[in-house]
């Protein structure tokens, strides 16, 4: 069963490895999204294939967290 809870997602860039990581957290007060307070953390995503990997990882996050409401934030 999926819920309608709001989860916020953020892409973090690792300059050393040149990869991205998707962080998804349930935050109410507008605090920053860190890996520590995230409910879902993806693995490293290559910067070259981020456009094809991101929809797949977002779908995995929706299934794992059982929510349909994931909003990207800066």
The boundaries of the domain holding residue 52 are: 3-72
- Domain total of the chain: 1
pLDDT at position 29 is 72
Please tell me the distance from the alpha carbon of residue 1 to that of residue 55, in angstroms, as a whole number.
21
Task: Record the tokens describing residue 18, joined without a space.
Answer: 């040149």
pLDDT < 50 regions, the chain: none
For the chain, what is the radius of gyration of the CA atoms? 12
pLDDT at position 2 is 78
pLDDT at position 4 is 80
SS3 state of residue 10: strand
pLDDT at position 73 is 87
Please tell me the distance from the alpha carbon of residue 32 to that of residue 39, in angstroms, as a whole number.
13
8 Å CB contact between 67 and 2: yes
């Amino acid at each position: 069963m999926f819920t309608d809870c709001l989860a916020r997602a953020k892409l973090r860039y690792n300059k050393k490895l040149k990869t991205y990581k998707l962080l998804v957290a349930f935050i109410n007060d507008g605090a920053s999204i860190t890996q520590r307070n995230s409910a879902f953390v993806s693995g490293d995503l290559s910067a070259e294939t981020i456009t094809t990997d991101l929809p797949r990882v977002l779908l995995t996050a929706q299934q794992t967290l059982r929510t349909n409401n994931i909003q990207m934030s800066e």
